Structure formats: C-alpha cells, structure tokens
C-alpha cells in the first residue's frame, strides 16, 4: 500500500506543480494490479529531468517510472492528458 501512496502522491503532485486545474485521480483495482490515472489540462507529456540532490526536484517521474509498469500518457478529448501507471500486486 505504501508504494501505491507514493506513486499517487508523485503523480498528483506533478500535475499540481506543472499544470493548471482541474485535476482528477482515478484508481482501479484489478485482479493482479492497481491502475492509477491522473488527468490534467496540459497536453504536454511529463519530461524526465536529472534528479537534484539539493531538494529542487527531478525525482518524482523517475521514481514512478521505476516503481510501476505500463507507464504511459493518453491524450484527453478536452486537450489535456491522462498519466496512466500500473502497480502489480
């Protein structure tokens, strides 16, 4: 469960930090995984950047990409995007 909370926190935090409202979070429990979907208004995919050891960021998307499977971006009809991640059980 801690892994799910970390990934949700990173994805929602990135949406809040880098895009404008509104945002939405959808969790779906599957037989073998949990799907995490975060939707925002920006059409731009997250851009991984080098992590900084001074606390200024760069770790979130890197962590999410290492902790999840099937991480991808889907465009929304309204012109935004949904970041989709899966965590296997």
- Bridge partners of 84, per DSSP, are 37, 72
Q: Can you give the pLDDT at residue 50?
A: 84
Quote the domain boundaries for residue 57: 2-88
Confidence of residue 33 (pLDDT cuts 50, 70, 90): very high
The answer to whether residue 49 scores a pLDDT higher than 90 is no
Output the pTM of the full model. 0.89
Confidence of residue 81 (pLDDT cuts 50, 70, 90): very high
Residue 21: partners with Cβ closer than 8 Å, 6 or more residues away? 41
- DSSP letters for 1-32: -HHHHHHHHHHHHHHHHHSPSP-EEEEEE-SS
Q: Which CATH number fits the domain that encloses residue 58? A: 3.30.565.10
Tokens of 59: 């770790």
* Number of structural domains in the chain: 1
With both helix axes pointing from N to C terminus, report the angle between 2-18 and 60-67 in degrees, rounded to the nearest 10: 140
């Amino acid at each position: 469960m801690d892994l799910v909370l970390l990934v949700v926190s990173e994805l929602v935090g990135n949406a809040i930090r880098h895009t404008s409202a509104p945002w939405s979070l959808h969790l779906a429990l599957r037989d073998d995984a949990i799907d995490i979907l975060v939707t925002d208004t920006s059409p731009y995919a997250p851009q991984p950047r080098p992590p900084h050891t001074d606390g200024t960021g760069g770790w979130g998307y890197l962590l999410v990409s290492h902790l999840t499977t099937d991480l991808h971006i889907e465009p929304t009809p309204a012109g935004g995007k949904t970041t989709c991640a899966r965590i296997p059980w």
